[in-house]
Structure formats: C-alpha cells, structure tokens
Structure 1
Amino acid sequence: MSRLIIVSNRVAPISEGGPAAGGLAVGVYDALKETGGMWFGWSGDVVAEPPQSITLEERGRVTFATIGLAQRDYDQYYRGFSNATLWPAFHYRPDLIQFDRDEFDGYCRVNRWLAKQLAPLLKADDVIWVHDYHLIPFAQALRDEGVTNRIGFFLHIPFPATQVLLSVPRHRVLVEALCSFDLLGFQTAPDLRAFCDYIETQANGSVVRIAGEPNAVSAFGKTLRAAAYPIGVYPDEIALLAKDGESGREVQTVKTTLRDRKLIMSVDRLDYSKGLVERFRAFEKLLEHQPAQRNNVSFVQIAPPTRADMDTYRDIRLQLEAESGRINGRYAELDWTPIRYIHRQYERPVLAALFRASHVGFVTPLRDGMNLVAKEYVAAQDPDDPGVLVLSQFAGAAQELNGALIVNPLDIAGMADALAAALAMPLKERQARYTDMFAQLRENNVSVWRDNFMRDLQA
C-alpha cells in the first residue's frame, strides 16, 4: 500500500489519546496510522539561521518530519504574504491586504526550500496531501524537483470570488501554481464555483462539470480535478468528551456563578474574520430590546490569542476589551456581569463540556471556510435538553447545519432577534433541530471527508 505524506505549515503536536488535537489533526493522524506515512512541515521554531537538517521522530507507522524557519523566512513567508496578504484576501477583506514584493518572493522561496527538504524523503509510490494557503506553490516546487507523485491540495479557508482575488497582486501566479496539483479540494460548493469562475474568466481555461465527480479543469497547459469536500468532526467522540467533562472544576465553577441564568457560549481564535465585535454588539442589542433578559443571561466569549506579533491582531484585542468593558459598564449589576471575555486557551474536553452546559452556541464569523466550532457545539449537546446554534450564513457549516438559526453577521438587530428566539425556543423544537444536525454530523464525519478526498486523489 502507498504511503500517505501529509504536508502542512505546522505539524500538529499529537499525543496518543491526548485531548489537545483538533478534529483535523485527529482525522489526518488516523489516516497516517492506517496507511503508514509521514507528516512534514514547520516545527514552530524560529531560529537564527536556516536549519540544515530535518528532525525525524518515529511513532509507530508514522514519521513526524519537522524543520525550523529562519527569522527572515518566518517574517516574509508566514507573517508577511501568508497572513498579511492571503488571509485577509481569502476572507473577503481586501481593505486589510498588505502586499510587499519581498514578502511574496520570500513566500515562494520558502515553499521551494521546503519542497527541496521533502523531495529526498519521498518514495516513488507515495501519495502527497498538502494543506492550506501557506503552501499554494508547493506542488509546483516539487515538480521542479522532479517529483511525479500524485499531489493533492485542500484549502481550509474560503476561496474568494474572482473580483476579490484580483485585488491580490500576483493572483495569476498563485492560481497557475494551484494547477500543478492533481486534485484541489475546497470546503464548499461556493468556494469551488469561485475557483472555476477564475479559471474560465481570467485564465482562459475550461471546466467540465460532471455530476457526482470532481470537475475536470484545464488551464495554463495543465489538467487537474477540483471538488468540494466539507470537513467534519467525530460527533460521538465529542459527545463523550462533553459528558465526561461535566463534572470538571471549570464547568462546575461556571454553573455555580451562573446560578439559574442561561448561558450563551462562543469560542473563536482572536481574529478579525470571526465577527467578534459585531457579536458583542448583538448581545448588547438583546439586552437593550429585551429588558427581561438582563440579569437572566450571560455571554461567555473565549478568544485565545493568535498571531499576537501582528498589528491587526493587537488592534482587534484592544477593540474587544473596550467593547466588553463598555457593555458591562452599561448593564452590569453587583451580582451579574453580562459579558465574560476570556483571552486564553482551554483544552477540548473543557470546551466541549461548556458547550453542553450552554443554552445557545453563538457562531457568527464574517467569513469562514467551514468553522468546526459550530459542528463541535452541536455534537456536545445533551440530547434530552439541547442548546440552539445561532450560525452565520457565511460559515461553510451553514451549508450543512439546517437546524441552526442562520443569521447575517452584519445585521446586529437580526442577530439579537435570533438570540431571543434561541433562548425562548421550546424543548421539542430544540430536540428536533439537534437530532437532524447530529445525524448530518455522523453522516459526514471527518473520516468521510478524508476518505472521499483520498479516493479521488488516488483514482
């Protein structure tokens, strides 16, 4: 059987049976354990000089191959083009794009360098699966090294509409690089349509759409296939985590301090794409328009830090701190704080148990590829007394979770109305919505996502 080679920007810190790994890491690691293979990528270390060797660690049938990045490479490839140019563009924020030619050159250089490190480790029948926007030029770089293996690519974030992508300098170079892969995977059908639209309108290429099969794409003198593969979670595993975590100290503390109040729960990385400021203002609007909810509901927002060395992320943190302080100053009482804004990380069992203890899951990104938090929230619920998911129409998960209350994250009053409806929803309706969504999660779990992609890549 062919080995599977996973390539990602970061190699996830997996410990056997440990709680820290997310659904994606678990799904990929399961595939590696079944087939045998290697996980290759950046170690997370920033070093003074480019490292000369890869660190190899064997765990059963899986080899973890990691390497550090020099400071200049980190600044240009990661902080620069990946996260100051591609991230805002792909999340429909062209106003936040920062482009620097040297950073683009660094992005391409690091991809070539990483490909050069991986190439000697490959065997002739290896199947290579590359993940996410940091590594768009990776297949092209491997081809330049003489690698002829099957190479697939999965984009975990949205693929932007053509007119948005055109705002990225070097957009044509990027799309041409994508066409060096054998199979492209996107989270949703709209993302796939956006890619195909670019091929047809900007690259003078062609797309053949075949029902039930990946689209056949021809462009830049290359042929490849492209399809949507919505990523999932393991819902039964999350349900067990949530149930087991109910007696944990953190969850019991929250329940004690809530008294008989209802809980609205949100968990996001601290990022401008998550719609956090709009979410705070929607909760404020709920308290303004529904006086009966004051001192009867609390909103917990957990937002762990991310990319703290970038100005835009420092700015969003300051803005959230100011908004939560202002709203609490307006509505708080001696025995009640409306918003609990927590800027730290919790392990998955704690988060799952908090989801289970809450009455509303509030997941309203301005734009998101999928948003696994929405799926994890549903999976964590008590079937006898489930909470209600309020979900942004711009999250990929909204394509699947029909039992959620779907909102426009820019409509503050509309989100407040949805919160009020969720808090007042009768038990039978909550159970029916939960049952439908949980069945959907089981039908399209992370193994289905992985297996469908690998089937098409190896076909």
Structure 2
Amino acid sequence: MTDTGMRRLVVVSNRLPAALKFVDGEWTVKGGAGGLVTALAPVLKNRGGLWIGWNGAFGAEEESKRLLDEFSGEAGYELKGVPLTEDEVKKYYFGFSNEIIWPLFHDLQTRCRFDPEYWRSYLEVNFKFAENVARMTSSEDFIWVHDYHLMHQAFFLKSMGVKRSTGFFLHIPFPPPDIFLKLPWRQKLILALTEFDLVGFQTTQDRYNFERCLEMLAPDAKVSGEGAVVSVELRGREFQAGTFPIAIDFNQFDGMARDREVAHEAFRIREALKHRKIILGVDRLDYTKGIPERILAIRELLRLYPDLKGKFNFIQIAVPSREDVDEYKDLRDEIELLVGRVNGEFSIPGWVPVHYHYRSLPQNELTSYYAAADIALITPLRDGMNLVAKEYCACNVNESGALILSEFAGAAAQLQEWAYLVNPYDLEGVAKAIHRAMHWDIEERRDSMKNMRDQVRSHNIFWWVDSFLQAGISKNLDDFPSVETVRFENN
C-alpha cells in the first residue's frame, strides 16, 4: 500500500464487527456483538479507521467484499476481511485459541487439549493475517492487534521486513508462571509478544504475571519504570508493557437508561415480578462465567434464609455462544437442569425463584433489565475485565442498585472499594453477600453506586483508547480526527 501521509488507527482482531450469514438463499451481513465491538465501534466511527478480521463465512469473497463495503459506509469506518478455511477455523480458532489458550489463561488448564496440529495452524493463520495487514496498511498507520488469537502479528510482520508501529491488547487474563509454563510453546509465544512496541493488559496483576513469565523464560529481560506503563529491554530492543483496563461508552448506556421507552419497560419488568427484589446475572454462555455456581448460590441463599421465599427473583440472561461445541452444549444442559432443580425445590404458588433466559437481547431490552435490577450478581470464575459490571453501573441512573462482583474479575481492581467482592467458589459466602445487599442501608447503597458510576464515567472507552495510544505512539484519539473535520479543514 502506498503511504498517504495520513495516520490511521487500524484494528486487527480475529472477527470483524460484522458477520456474513447465508439466509434464505442469499448472503447477508449482520453487525456483531461482544465487548470488543462495543468498545471500539464508537471510537473508529467516522475517523477513517480500518478494521481487519475474518468475516465469519467460508468462500463468497465477492459477495463478502460488496456487503462489507456497504456495511463500512453505515459504520463509518472501513472493514477488510481475511479469508479463512473451515480447517483453519477448526484448528486455529476452536482448537488452539479456545481449547488451549482460553482455558489455560483462565486458570482451567484441565480443560486444555495440547494438540501440536493446533499450534501449526495457529502460526499459519497468524502469518496469513500478517500478510493482509502488510498489504492493507501503510507505515504511517498504527496497528492495534486485539486478543489471544493473534499474538504473533508483530513477529511475522518483522519477519517479512514490514515496518509498522504495533500495539497488542490482551482482553483475557494473563496467567502466573506456574500456569503459563504448562504451555508447550511457552517461550515462542511470549517472545512473539515482545516484538510489539506496546503490550497492554487489563490489570496490574496481569502485567506482573507477564513480567514474571518473561523473566523466567528470557532471563536477560530487564524491566524498568513505575506506574501503569513500564519499559522492558530485551536483546537490544525496548518495548513497553502497560495496564489499560478496558471501559465502556458511559454516556451511551446512561442515555439509553434514561430513554422513556427503556424506563417504561424497566417499570413493566418490576410490575410483572410484583415489585420483588430483582437480582440480575448477564453473561455469554461460557464455563468461565460461573453460571452453575451462581445458581447453586441462589439455592444456598434460600436454604440459609427461608424467609426470603417469594421476596426476590433471580434473572439469569445467558447469551448463546459456540453452540456447535459439545462442551458448551453440556454446559447449557447443566444450567437448565440446575434451574429446574432449584425452582422445583423452592417454588410456591405464584412464585419461582429463578427466571432463566437463553437468548440474545436487543440492547434497549437489556438496558431495561439493568435499570430494573436491585442487585447485579457478576461472579465469573475468572475474567479479564467483565464489562457487564460497568454497564450495570452506567444504567443505574437512580443510583440505588448494588453490585456483587467476583474478586477474580478484572473489574474488581477498579470497583473494589464500593462493590461487594465475593469468591465465586464460596457458595455460602455469595449467598450471605446477596442477603447483606438486600438489606443494605439505602443511603450507603446510593453513595457506593454513585462512586462506581463516577469511576466508570471518568474511565470511559475514550479514556481507555487515549491511554493506550499515548503509551504506544504518544498520540490521543483527537490526533485521528473525524472524516468530516478533515474535509472541512481542507475546504
């Protein structure tokens, strides 16, 4: 690609924020969901940015290009697809990424399947991505690579002699040495990360784990500096490692919660449940989210405090994920069985304790649940950040809600002063925290929620991007002006 003299922000991730689907005999494109899309879509919009990733389909490259071009016009940034085969997706994505890295980095190594074929495919796909990044970008662009699927991007770009400013952000936890060292390709992987100019993590603990692993696998590495970002010198070059807790667009969620229709729907939810206390869980269906343990904690709550029968409802929203994977089918069956058992044990005429919804909800409907809930029960077994906790706070405009949060979620590092922190494995401890939250003094509850909302407001998505760009290239988001601003200034 020819240098244009204009620096662009280029996002590279496994999936594009739009997916192709074959419906009723024709290809269509649908906007994606998830934390990464929620975080970066408003940042890239109308700034002339570029997003590179797989489009979610096999073949149909001409249709893919046409549909993505149409979607780009509406999204306000350019989308470019990287074609992948079914075998590549099977081994690189479902295999290496989700049967090795995902469970290992979430401290669930017994679920890992260390297949050498997965590693080979992972490298091949990373090289394919790097070829596309090299072709679609210029030396002026800042390449921001996201998550564990593409940790070899800087390594392969350099091996091809392609000079780019590169940053990498890991959305999931980084494990301590006793877990990371179980990875057969540990040294190759961690050295590949050192080829980025900036490596970002969700929490200080994640960054510290990375430093300890690097020092064990590359003893000549020297870490210097204090604060959120440190310098690492290794084999004649220096790169930065930093802590950048991902955030949300606070004003967007706050505004949605104040919308008249959303507020009306929140009231309707409360009326339908006869204004009982509402405890809410919202998660993608995944074994790291601790949904079975959460339902068992509700059972423990009712066993410890039988007087609560009929006085609350626990609503668990589980967003479908990886439905073709047997492990996730088994998890869904387990959850549905537990819901049935708890409801069977404690239901009374006119009341069942657990309401379980296995489906994706439109954002305005989900916001209504956030606004209606008295308590958010966010208890993953391990999580990089967990944006649901922040979304709940942003939507709690009357500042009367309470947040019960797993101490193993990255969000705990920012919200620990005001949230109820719990160990998700301690069913009795979670039950007691719910009981305390239900009887919490209203003024103390409002004060805690106000502080959490202030934290989420001040450390929003634009702050997150600015802090990463400042550390990576000494730039801010304002240095990537909107397309309209550039056109106006040039006229």
TM-score, normalisation: structure 1: 0.93
5 Å-filtered alignment, 1:298-313, equals: 298-313=313-328
Deviations 1:16-65 (A, max 9, x none): xx9975564354234334642211001111349xx699836243862111
1:10 and 2:15 matched: yes
**Partner of residue 291, structure 2:** 276
CA-CA distance at 1:253 after TM superposition? 5.1
CA contact (8 A) 2:18 2:31 kept: no
Q: Is the 8 A contact 2:221 2:232 kept in 1?
A: yes
Task: Say yes or no: does 1:156 pair with 2:164.
Answer: no
Instruction: Note if contact 2:224-2:231 (Cα within 8 Å) is conserved in structure 1.
Output: yes
Q: CA deviation at 1:304?
A: 1.1
Is 1:346 matched with 2:351? Answer: no
- Report what 1:42 is aligned to: 54
Identity level (%): 38
RMSD: 2.2
Distance 1:282 1:196, change over 3 A: same
Report the residue type matching 1:381 in the other structure.
N
- Per the TM alignment, residue 13 of structure 1 is displaced from its structure 2 partner at its CA by 3.0
Q: The residue matched to 1:68 in structure 2 has which SS?
A: coil
Report what 2:485 is aligned to. none
Cα deviation, 1:296-351, whole Å, max 9, x if unaligned, reads: 11100001111122222112111111111111110012211111111100022211
**Hey, what's the Cα distance between the residues in 2 that align with 1:256 and 1:93?**
41
Per the TM alignment, residue 228 of structure 1 is displaced from its structure 2 partner at its CA by: 0.3
Tell me how far apart the structure 1 counterparts of residues 142 and 59 of structure 2 sit (CA, whole Å).
30
In the alignment, which residue of structure 2 is the partner of 1:396? 410
Indicate conservation of the 8 Å contact 1:264/1:298, yes or no: yes
Letter in 2 for 1:9: N
Give the gaps of 5 or more residues in structure 1: none
Contact 1:368 1:396 (C-alpha < 8 Å) held by counterparts: yes
| Structure 1 equivalent of residue 44 of structure 2 | 32
Range with greater deviation from structure 2 (432-441 or 187-196): 432-441
Checking the alignment, whether the CA contact within 8 Å between 2:228 and 2:243 is kept in structure 1 is: no
Q: Give the CA deviation at 1:251.
A: 4.2
The within-5 A match list for 1:77-96 is: 77-96=92-111
In structure 2, the partner of 1:142 is 157
Change (3 A) 1:256 1:70: same
Q: Which moves more between the two structures, 241-250 or 343-352?
A: 241-250
Structure 2 partner of 1:71: 86
CA contact (8 A) 1:158 1:368 kept: yes
- Of 377, 387, 395 in structure 1, the residue corresponding to residue 401 of structure 2 is 387
**1:443 correspondence with 2:458:** yes
**Kept after mapping to 2: 8 A contact 1:187/1:231:** yes
CA contact (8 A) 1:263 1:299 kept: yes
* Distance (whole Å) between structure 2 residues aligned to residue 222 and residue 54 of structure 1: 40
Structure 2 unaligned runs (5+)? 1-5, 20-29, 475-491
- Distance in 1 between the 2:160 and 2:422 partners? 47
Q: Which amino acid is the alignment partner of residue 410 of structure 2?
A: G
Which residue of 129, 136, 139 maps to 2:144? Answer: 129
Deviations 1:348-372 (A, max 9, x none): 2211211110110000001000000
**2:468 match: secondary structure:** helix
Counterpart code for 2:119: F
- Residues 199 and 207, structure 1, Cα contact 8 Å, conserved in 2: no
In the TM superposition, what whole-angstrom CA distance separates every residue of 1:124-183 from its partner, at most 9, and x where no partner exists? 211100000000111112222221110000000000111101112211111111111110
Single out whichever of 241-250 and 400-409 deviates more from structure 2. Answer: 241-250
Q: Which moves more between the two structures, 287-296 or 202-211? A: 202-211
- Do the aligned partners of 1:245 and 1:353 also contact (CA within 8 Å) in 2? no
CA separation in 1, counterparts of 2:232 and 2:142? 20
Q: Which moved more, 1:182-191 or 1:120-129?
A: 120-129
**1:248-307 CA distances to partner (integer Å, 9 max, x unpaired)?**
786455323301311100100011101111111111111111111111111000011111
2:120 and 2:236 mapped to 1: Cα distance?
A: 24
Letter in 1 for 2:173: P
**Distance of 2:364 and 2:34 partners within structure 1:** 11
Distance in 1, matches of 2:261 and 2:222, equals 50
Q: Which residue type is aligned with residue 440 of structure 1?
A: Q
Distance 1:437 1:207 in 2: 36
SS at match of 2:259: helix
Cα distance in 2, alignment partners of residues 311 and 24 from structure 1 = 25
Q: Retained in 2: the 8 A contact 1:132–1:157?
A: yes
User: In structure 2, what residue type is equivalent to 1:124?
Assistant: S
Partner of 1:177: 192
- For 1:301 and 1:123, the matched residues in 2 are separated by 46
Count of residues in Structure 1 that have an aligned counterpart in Structure 2: 453
Secondary structure of the 2:314 match is strand
Judged with a 3 Å threshold, the aligned counterparts in structure 2 of structure 1 residues 296 and 382 are, in CA distance, closer, same or farther, namely same
Amino acid at match of 2:401: G
Could you tell me how far apart the structure 2 residues matched to 1:348 and 1:276 are? Answer: 21
What secondary structure is seen at the aligned counterpart in 1 of 2:57?
Answer: strand
- Sort the Cα spacing of 1:32 and 1:69 in 2 relative to 1 into closer, same or farther, 3 A: same
